Amino acid sequence: MFSKLPEIPFWPQLPKRSPRENMYAQYSSNLPCAQWDKENGKLWFEVGDNVSSELAKFYEYVLADELDRFALTIEEASGFYTFLELAPKLMSDKTVAIKGQITGPISFGLAVPDQNKKAIIYHDELFDAAVDGLIIKARWQIKRLAELNKPVIFFIDEPYLVSIGSSFTNLDPKRVKECLNKVVEAAKNEGAIVGTHCCANTDWSLLLELPIDILNLDAFEYFDNLLLYKKQLGDYFARGGIVALGVIPTNERIFELNDEILADKAAAEIVELAKISKNNVSNQIMITPACGLGSTTKKVAARALELTRKTAIRLKQGPLKA
C-alpha cells in the first residue's frame, strides 16, 4: 500500500489468512462472554448465568482505563503489526496521514450472535459492553498509530447500516445514532480524523448528522441515493466534511475499466455535489475503492489500488468534466 497509496497508507485486514482476522472476530477478544471456536472459525457470545460476573470484570478494566488489555493481538491483526514495523522505513514526504479502522458497533451487534443465534444487539447489557469494548480498542489503536508521528485517519466500518429501516431489523434510529456517536467522539478525543464507511445504501442522514470528518460510500453503485439528502449534505459540506467517493469497484468488473472512465464518473459526481454546496467541494473530496479489499483476490486488490491512485491523479490534473 505504500507504493500504491503513499499519501495515506493503511494496515490491511487479512481474513483469507485466518478466520481470526475477520472484521468481527478481529475485535472480539476480551469482550465479556465472547467465545471463539478456532477449529471452526466461529464467534458467538455465551449468554448464561455468568453474564453479570463477566460484565463486572470487564468494566473493572474499562473504568481503570487499561487500554493494553484490549490490544489487538498478532493472531487477530497480523497486518497491523507488520504495518507498524514497516511504516517508519517506507513512509515518505508524500505521506500526509495514516489510516486505521474498526468494525462499527451496529454491524458488530447485528453480525455476532449468542449461542442461540440471536444477535447480541438485542441483549442490551452485552451490547452496551460491546460498544464500550470497541471504543477502548479504537482508542488503543489510535494511540499506537499516532506513535508514527503522522495524523491518524480512523474509520468506523458499518456495512450493516444497510439494514436500518428494513423489515429484517427492529432498531431505533435514535439508538443507532447514539451508539455511533459514542465511538466517533471517543476517536476524535484521541486526536483522530474520523470517517465512516457503508458499502451499500442506507439512511445517509444518520451518518451526515454525526460529527464525522469523512463520509465514505460505494459511489460506483449508490451515489444517486446520497443525493436524496441534499439538506444534510449541504450542512455537512458547510462544516468542512469530506466525501470519500468509492468509485473504484472491488470486484472483477475492475478489469473492464480504466482510470479515464473512473475519473470521468467521479468528476460528474463532484459536479452534482457542487450544486448542493456553496463551498468549492472539489477540496472536500477523496477517491477510494468502493469497499474493503480483504475478501477479494490479490489481482482485484492490486488493480483496485492501482486505479485508485491513477484516478485521483487524473482528477487532480483536471479539468473536471460535467
* Model pLDDT for residues 84-117, shown as the tens digit of each residue: 999 999 898 899 999 999 999 999 999 999 999 9
Lowest-confidence pick of 51-60, 77-86, 165-174, 255-264:
165-174
pTM for the predicted model, two decimal places = 0.94
Question: Any idea what DSSP says for residue 227?
Answer: T
pLDDT > 90? residue 171: no
* Model pLDDT for residues 145-165, shown as the tens digit of each residue: 999 999 999 999 999 998 876
By C-alpha distance, which of 112, 129, 105 is closest to 187?
A: 105
- pLDDT for position 295: 86
Q: What gap in Å lies between CA 319 and CA 322, rounded to an integer?
A: 10
Q: Which domains does the chain have, with CATH numbers?
A: 19-317 (3.20.20.210)
Instruction: State the alpha helices, DSSP H only, in 47-172.
Output: 51-63, 78-90, 105-111, 124-146
Q: What is the mean pLDDT of residues 162-169?
A: 73
Q: What gap in Å lies between CA 245 and CA 266, rounded to an integer?
A: 7
pLDDT > 50? residue 322: no
Q: What is the mean pLDDT of residues 251-266?
A: 96
- pLDDT for position 163: 82
By C-alpha distance, which of 86, 83, 87, 65 is closest to 74?
A: 83
Identify whether the C-beta of residue 246 lies closer than 8 Å to the C-beta of residue 218.
yes
Task: Residue 90: count other Cβ atoms within 10 Å of its Cβ.
Answer: 14
- pLDDT for position 169: 75
Buried b (16+ CB within 10 A) or exposed e, 204-228: bbbbbebebbbbbbbbbbbbebbee
pLDDT > 80? residue 125: yes
